[in-house]
């Protein structure tokens, strides 16, 4: 029997040994050693001497990894083998390997920091402060001074705004440099059919907006056999209530998108937007809409899929949404030729003396972007790569593709070739060409013209816009005497520019684990909870419910929130303004 016992022990030991042997940390991920093939000779020279010429042309193959916190907007290339990407690799030897977060990335980022296992680049949005606290980014500014003339040229005045209070540059801004000349993303939308039916009335105020919806709904209680819906929202999934419930309220008052904050343009004093008395009026209007049966009863609970399905059915008369959010539903209407059910974009505000803020100019906002990590084995090569991306030719390459293949100069403009125009209608074309893939989150210029006077950005072209409008849109625009939606909106020069940039990402720069973060989260939670209740209450309850909301905001300490936010703004944005 003894032998049996020993056999058993031997087997158990062997199993344990095998398990531990297999689990030895031999399989380090790509992020760690991606630049191993590069000798360490490329360390930045401290003495500021110009690097030897040979290094300028280093095109040996190298793979850089990048972690993108919220997934790269367009589809990511798994293999970096698209037509544009191949050109980039040929020019620089660089292959980009994406790693990105799934789901709620807080946990993943926490462990990434705990493991000290960073890729070469990091693009973070709302966890910048976690990475800064752990000292993950290198200071790029000395390297850019030496190797980054194109970076400085591309960012221009905005370059200095990227420095933190100690003068370090941790990441390059991801937002478009230069705003572009396209139709407004955020507005109030109404079906062309409604406008046509009412004889294209003037719609500038919420009351006029409501009157048009109401009249049409009474006239046509059903569309295609289904009940007509005046207006609908999508608030059932996490953050989406920001887009259709909160932002329109701020827009209607003419506030720029500073998150849930209002910033006084003279004093740079910040306050929580919902403690401003006027904002109540938008939600009073919503309440009126709801009680007149003009708002979908499911508006505050439905999922995004249901929201899109309703828009696609053509029976939702009006929206207050960002174009990017409702376009998937609108596309179905276009495919079916129901152009009269697609939407006109109108500069509706609370009253005529308020200007819709769609084109309110703001200074460059560099709160997030691509930074180089301490783990990057060859930061010089990395900066040189960023510099390459900032070159004019590369900017055109990544936004338009290859000359003669994807675009050509015709009629004095840069435009897509016929082949490319046709191909863009096919699925998978974006992956094949990789056009646009490197525009996010890498440095990208938005509007303006290159040295030959041609547009940098395909979206920045009024001539193309007119051709892209459907017939009903053209009718509406003609009736209002304009050539694009943009012309309906107040132009940028009518506003005082927001010197602080766009503060909606103000919370991205707050220190992790701070009172401010807690307070902001609590106030936002309260807002998210009360606004739907306020909107769907009976008219008599409205005022008392609003007062209850305000008093609860007060008891949370909403005024402290304003004080801290003011300081945060000063520390992170105003300092740049002062430096200029």
Partner 1 sequence: MNRFRRTKGDYIIDFVIYAVTLVILVSTLFPFLNVLAIAFNDSSDSVKGGVGILPRIPTLDNFKELTRFPLLLQGGLISLLRTIVGTVCSLLSTCMLAYVLSRKDFIFKKFFTALFLFTMYVDSGLIPHFMVIRTFGLNNSFWVYIIPGLISAYNLILVRSFIEQLPYSLQESAFLDGANDFTVFTKIIMPLCLPVTATVGLFYAVGQWNSWFDTYLYAPFNEKITTLQYELMKILQQSMSQQGNLSQAGKLAQSQSISPLSIRMAVTVVAILPILLVYPFVQKYFVSGLTLGAVKS
Partner 2 sequence: MQGTRPRKKGTLLETLYRQRFLLAMSLPFFLWVLLFCYLPLAGWGMAFQDFKLRGDVLESFFSAPFVGLKHFGDLWEDFVNQGRFFLALRNTLAMSLLLLAFGFVTPIIFALMLNEIRIKKFKRITQTISYLPHFISWVVAAGMISVMLSTEGPVNDLLIALGLTDKRITFLADQNMFWGIMTVSEIWKELGWNAIIFLAAITSVDQGLYESAEIDGAGRLRKIWYVTLPCILPVITVILIMDIGWLISVGFEKQMLLGNDMTRNASEVLDVYALKYGIGQSRYSFGTAIGMFKSVVSVVMVLIANALAKKTGETSIL
Query: Residue 437 interacts with partner 1 (CB under 8 A)?
Result: yes
* 424, interface contact from partner 2, partner 1, none, CB < 5-8 Å by kind: partner 1
Q: Which of 294, 299, 334, 188 is nearest to 249 (CA)?
A: 188
DSSP three-state, residue 4? helix
Quote the least distance from Cβ 301 to partner 2, whole Å.
Answer: 4
Query: Residue 322 interacts with partner 1 (CB under 8 A)?
Result: yes
According to CB under 8 A, which one of 57, 115, 266, 411 is a site residue for partner 1? Answer: 115
Residue 15 vs 422, nearer CB to partner 2: 15
Tokens of 77: 């290339």
* 529, interface contact from partner 2, partner 1, none, CB < 5-8 Å by kind: partner 2
* 133, interface contact from partner 1, partner 2, none, CB < 5-8 Å by kind: partner 2
Query: Residue 8 interacts with partner 2 (CB under 8 A)?
Result: yes
Query: Residue 376 interacts with partner 2 (CB under 8 A)?
Result: no
Contacts of 521 (CB under 8 A, 6+ apart): none
* 521, interface contact from partner 1, partner 2, none, CB < 5-8 Å by kind: partner 2
DSSP strand E in 239-348: where? 261-263, 270-272, 316-319, 343-346
Please tell me what DSSP assigns to residue 257: -
According to CB under 8 A, which one of 94, 122, 235, 488 is a site residue for partner 2? Answer: 235
Query: Residue 100 interacts with partner 1 (CB under 8 A)?
Result: yes
Quote the least distance from Cβ 257 to partner 1, whole Å.
Answer: 11
Question: Is-contact 460 180, C-beta < 8 A?
Answer: yes
Cα gap 258→74, rounded to integer Å: 25
How many C-beta atoms surround the C-beta of residue 525 within 10 A? 11
Query: Residue 32 interacts with partner 2 (CB under 8 A)?
Result: no
Q: Which stretch binds partner 1 (CB under 8 A): 4-12, 255-263, 541-549, 551-559?
A: 4-12
Quote the least distance from Cβ 73 to partner 2, whole Å.
Answer: 21
Cα gap 539→533, rounded to integer Å: 12
According to CB under 8 A, which one of 52, 103, 412, 453 is a site residue for partner 1? Answer: 103
| Alpha carbon 416 to chain centroid, angstroms | 25
* 412, interface contact from partner 1, partner 2, none, CB < 5-8 Å by kind: none
Query: Residue 17 interacts with partner 2 (CB under 8 A)?
Result: no
Please tell me what DSSP assigns to residue 493: G
Q: Which of 210, 184, 330, 256 is nearest to 499 (CA)?
A: 256
Query: Residue 79 interacts with partner 1 (CB under 8 A)?
Result: yes
Contacts of 400 (CB under 8 A, 6+ apart): 406, 407, 414, 416, 435, 458
Query: Residue 174 interacts with partner 1 (CB under 8 A)?
Result: yes
Strands 94-100 and 229-231: unpaired
342: Cα within 13 Å, side-chain hemisphere: 21
Contacts of 216 (CB under 8 A, 6+ apart): 193, 194, 197, 198, 228, 317
Give 327-333 contacts, CB < 8 A, sequence gap 24+: none
Q: Which stretch binds partner 1 (CB under 8 A): 93-101, 156-164, 388-396, 514-522?
A: 93-101
Question: Is-contact 69 63, C-beta < 8 A?
Answer: no
Residue 45 vs 73, nearer CB to partner 1: 73
Q: Which stretch binds partner 1 (CB under 8 A): 1-9, 142-150, 287-295, 479-487?
A: 1-9
Contacts of 423 (CB under 8 A, 6+ apart): 429, 432, 433
Burial of 472 (0-12, 13-18, 19+ CB in 10 A): buried
Query: Residue 102 interacts with partner 1 (CB under 8 A)?
Result: yes
Which residue is it, tokens 């503060």? Answer: 503
Quote the least distance from Cβ 303 to partner 2, whole Å.
Answer: 5
Q: Which of residues 447-476 bind partner 2 (CB under 8 A)?
A: none
Tell me the number of residues near partner 1 by CB under 8 A.
84
* 300, interface contact from partner 2, partner 1, none, CB < 5-8 Å by kind: partner 2
Q: Which of residues 280-309 bind partner 2 (CB under 8 A)?
A: 297-298, 300-303, 305-306
Helix 83-92 to helix 379-390 angle, to the nearest 10 degrees? 130
* 302, interface contact from partner 2, partner 1, none, CB < 5-8 Å by kind: partner 2
Query: Residue 313 interacts with partner 2 (CB under 8 A)?
Result: no
According to CB under 8 A, which one of 249, 259, 446, 501 is a site residue for partner 1? Answer: 446
Q: Which of 311, 321, 344, 304 is nearest to 248 (CA)?
A: 321
Cα gap 242→505, rounded to integer Å: 13
How many C-beta atoms surround the C-beta of residue 469 within 10 A? 18
According to CB under 8 A, which one of 36, 56, 135, 547 is a site residue for partner 2? Answer: 135
Query: Residue 409 interacts with partner 2 (CB under 8 A)?
Result: no
Residue 238 vs 428, nearer CB to partner 2: 238
Q: Which of 332, 291, 335 is nearest to 315 (CA)?
A: 332
Question: Is-contact 275 260, C-beta < 8 A?
Answer: no
According to CB under 8 A, which one of 38, 51, 58, 110 is a site residue for partner 1? Answer: 110
Query: Residue 467 interacts with partner 1 (CB under 8 A)?
Result: no
Residue 27 vs 239, nearer CB to partner 2: 239
Quote the least distance from Cβ 339 to partner 2, whole Å.
Answer: 25
* 528, interface contact from partner 2, partner 1, none, CB < 5-8 Å by kind: partner 2
Residue 303 vs 483, nearer CB to partner 2: 303
Cα gap 519→392, rounded to integer Å: 44
Query: Residue 492 interacts with partner 2 (CB under 8 A)?
Result: no
- 531 to 550: interface string for partner 2, x by CB under 8 A: xxx--x--------------
Q: Which stretch binds partner 2 (CB under 8 A): 56-64, 103-111, 444-452, 484-492?
A: 103-111
**SS3 letters across 71-110:** CCCCCCCCCCCCHHHHHHHHHHCEEEEEEECCCCCHHHHH
Query: Residue 301 interacts with partner 1 (CB under 8 A)?
Result: no
What are the residues binding partner 2 (CB under 8 A)?
1, 4-5, 8-9, 12, 15-16, 104, 106-107, 110, 113-114, 116, 129-130, 133-135, 227, 235-238, 241, 297-298, 300-303, 305-306, 512-513, 517-518, 521, 525, 528-529, 531-533, 536
């Amino acid at each position: 029997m003894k032998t049996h016992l020993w056999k058993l022990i031997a087997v158990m030991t062997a199993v344990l040994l095998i398990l531990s042997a297999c689990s030895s940390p031999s399989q380090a991920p790509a992020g760690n050693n991606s630049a191993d093939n590069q000798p360490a000779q490329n360390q930045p020279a401290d003495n500021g001497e110009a690097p030897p010429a040979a290094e300028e042309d280093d095109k040996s193959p190298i793979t850089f990894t990048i972690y993108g916190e919220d997934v790269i907007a367009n589809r990511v290339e798994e293999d970096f083998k698209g037509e544009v990407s191949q050109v980039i690799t040929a020019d620089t030897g660089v292959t980009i390997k994406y790693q990105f977060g799934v789901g709620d990335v807080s946990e993943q980022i926490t462990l990434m920091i705990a493991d000290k296992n960073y890729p070469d680049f990091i693009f973070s949005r709302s966890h910048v402060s976690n990475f800064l606290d752990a000292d993950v980014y290198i200071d790029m500014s000395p390297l850019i001074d030496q190797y980054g003339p194109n970076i400085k040229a591309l960012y221009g005045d905005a370059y200095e705004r990227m420095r933190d209070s100690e003068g370090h540059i941790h990441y390059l801004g991801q937002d478009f440099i230069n705003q572009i000349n396209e139709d407004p993303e955020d507005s109030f939308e109404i079906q062309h059919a409604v406008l046509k039916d009412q004889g294209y009335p003037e719609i500038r105020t919420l009351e006029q907006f409501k009157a048009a919806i109401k009249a049409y709904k009474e006239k046509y209680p059903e569309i295609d056999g289904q009940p007509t819906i005046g207006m609908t929202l999508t608030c059932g999934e996490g953050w989406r209530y920001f887009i259709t419930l909160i932002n329109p309220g701020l827009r209607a008052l003419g506030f720029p998108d500073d998150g849930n904050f209002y910033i006084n343009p003279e004093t740079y004093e910040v306050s929580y937007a919902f403690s401003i008395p006027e904002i109540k009026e938008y939600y009073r209007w919503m309440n009126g809409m709801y009680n007149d049966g003009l708002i979908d009863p499911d508006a505050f609970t439905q999922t995004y899929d249901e929201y899109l399905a309703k828009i696609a059915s053509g029976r939702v008369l009006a929206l207050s949404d960002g174009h990017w959010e409702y376009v998937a539903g609108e596309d179905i209407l276009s495919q079916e030729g129901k152009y009269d059910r697609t939407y006109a974009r109108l500069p509706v505000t609370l009253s005529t003396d308020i200007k819709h803020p769609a084109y309110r100019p703001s200074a460059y906002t560099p709160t997030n972007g691509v930074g180089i990590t301490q783990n990057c084995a060859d930061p010089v090569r990395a900066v040189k790569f960023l510099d390459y991306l900032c070159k004019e030719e590369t900017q055109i390459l990544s936004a338009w593709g290859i000359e003669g293949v994807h675009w050509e100069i015709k009629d004095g403009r840069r435009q897509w070739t016929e082949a490319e125009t046709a191909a863009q209608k096919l699925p998978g074309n974006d992956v094949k060409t990789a056009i646009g893939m490197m525009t996010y989150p890498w440095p990208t210029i938005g509007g303006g013209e290159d040295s030959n006077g041609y547009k940098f950005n395909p979206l920045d072209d009024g001539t193309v816009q007119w051709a892209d409008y459907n017939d009903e849109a053209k009718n509406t625009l003609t009736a209002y005497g304009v050539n694009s939606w943009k012309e309906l909106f107040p132009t940028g020069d009518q506003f005082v520019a927001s010197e602080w940039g766009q503060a909606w990402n103000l919370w991205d720069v707050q220190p992790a684990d701070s009172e401010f973060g807690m307070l902001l989260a609590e106030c936002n939670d309260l807002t998210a909870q009360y606004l739907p209740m306020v909107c769907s209450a009976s008219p008599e309850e409205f005022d008392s419910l609003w007062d209850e909301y305000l008093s609860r905001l007060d008891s949370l300490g909403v005024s402290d929130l304003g004080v801290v936010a003011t300081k945060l703004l000063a520390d992170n944005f105003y300092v740049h303004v002062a430096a200029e």
